[in-house]
Amino acid sequence: MSYYNQGPPSGYPSHSPYPPQQSGYPPPQQPYGNQGYNRPPPGPPPGQPMNQGYGPPMGGSPYPPQGGPYGPPPGQSPYGQPPPGQYGHAPPPGPPPSQYGAPPPGPPPGQYGGYGGPPAAPTPPSPGYVPGQMPQADLRQAADDLRRAMKGFGTDEKMLVRVLGSLGPLEINGVKAAFHQQHRRDLVKDVHSETSGYFREGLEAMLRGPLEQDCYELHESIKGMGTKEAAMNEVLLSRSNADLQAIKRHYQHMYRKSLESDVKGDLSMKTERLFDMVMAARRNEDSAPIIPQQIDADINELYRTTEGQMGTDELQACSIISSRSDGQLRAISQGYQQKYHRSLQDVIKKEFSGHMEDALLYMVCRAEDPAKHDADLLEDAMRGLGTKDKALIRRVIAIHWSRDRLHQAKSAYRHFYKKDLADRIKGETSGDYEKLMLACIGVPPR
């Protein structure tokens, strides 16, 4: 078996970098015919009771049925549940949260169960978000193949794509270490000198790994004239507290400045306050329960601060949307539609503007349907005259780190845009750059 088809090593965290749709959370708004890639996983995180003990209000819950009839596509795990294995083998159970360098077991003050319930188990960091974490797989053959691809006259671009496109978040760090140990060379520098253009940018994004790439994208979005808002949104919004803490620590390590101080100087006042709330990393954990009475209170408060008065209390609305878990926010969105016959997205578009509007829409759309949101972002990078290549690279690379997330994004893309994602990418890219993007979505180079 080749090096890049080995199963993840022991301790390889199995969850997606984005919060899963857990049992007890309202499902996305539509089942998308028979594709059903949005089925919630079978239950809450290990150690959490199946029944949180929060019954519906008298007369029944006003929200759609929880755990709807969403089945996985053929050969695919339910939404939010890892596939059989990153490279063909089932990953063993991940270590307890304390081994990941996660925040203390208890949630931050005021976050007990999200709404005064029992403490919610913290979501552990995503794969690749613990600096220095290395795989147990032997990556010497991968390192040798990469060296052979760049040694002597000419470069074997297909080999670079085949090897790097097959490695997971932990294997990326491992192959860089093995390359240096075997050949006394820097893999990143060699790739930079042997490639060019968007092909080089894509390879370098992969070689950074997910955590360093997030920090790099943030720094690039902040430096120079103007803020590249889309990149900032994609890195910081709708993330787990553990991932945000990891990003802040690694950003400080890479750039010798705090992320908060860099962001602070780059945003307008109220938008800066919104991102302060986000970067505080005190969002309700994925395992926090859905309490219908509190969902109703949030719906009423959002109405009061937006449509229900002259002027908008922007910061109060920001506080609610940025601090709720995806499951809670999904319930709020569905409940708002039922109560006021307007979508929460439409309210945000009417009452907010600029970067704040985009950020709030990002969080709501991602909570409502993560797979559709990924598909929309991919299409956005390719829509219209000319391809937004930097955005396409950023989004494809981010999605490819989780096979489950990738499979669901591809299914959503086919459902909503009536075409295959690979065919769409082929029409917008070319050459080695095209081969790399296709490899990232599971189409190996020929």
User: In order of start, what are the domains of the chain with their CATH numbers?
Assistant: 283-368 (1.10.220.10)
pTM > 0.75: yes
Structure tokens given for 312: 């908008």
Tokens of 202: 């894509």
Q: What distance in Å separates the CA atoms of residue 231 and residue 219, rounded to the nearest whole number?
A: 10
Burial class (CB in 10 A: 0-12, 13-18, 19+), 309: exposed
For 181, counting Cβ atoms within 10 Å of its Cβ (0-12 exposed, 13-18 middle, 19+ buried), the class is exposed
Quote the distance between the C-alpha of residue 321 and its chain's center: 17
Q: d(Cα 137, Cα 317) in Å, to the nearest integer?
A: 47
Higher pLDDT, 21 or 154: 154
- Torsion sign, CA atoms 173, 179, 180, 186: negative
Between residues 288 and 66, the one the model is more confident about = 288
Mean pLDDT of 266-283: 94
Single-letter code of the amino acid located at 163: V
pLDDT, tens digit, 9 for 90 and up, residues 42-75:
444 444 443 333 333 333 444 443 333 333 333 3
Dist. CA 229–CA 125, nearest whole Å: 24
Tokens of 225: 């004239």
Tokens 């296709």 — which residue?
438
Residue 28, CA distances (Å) to 34, 36, 256, 399 in order: 14, 10, 41, 19
Q: How confident is the model at residue 227 (pLDDT cuts 50, 70, 90)?
A: low
Whether 356 contacts 274, CB under 8 Å:
yes
Per residue in 169-209, pLDDT (tens digit) is: 999 999 999 999 999 999 999 999 999 999 999 999 999 99
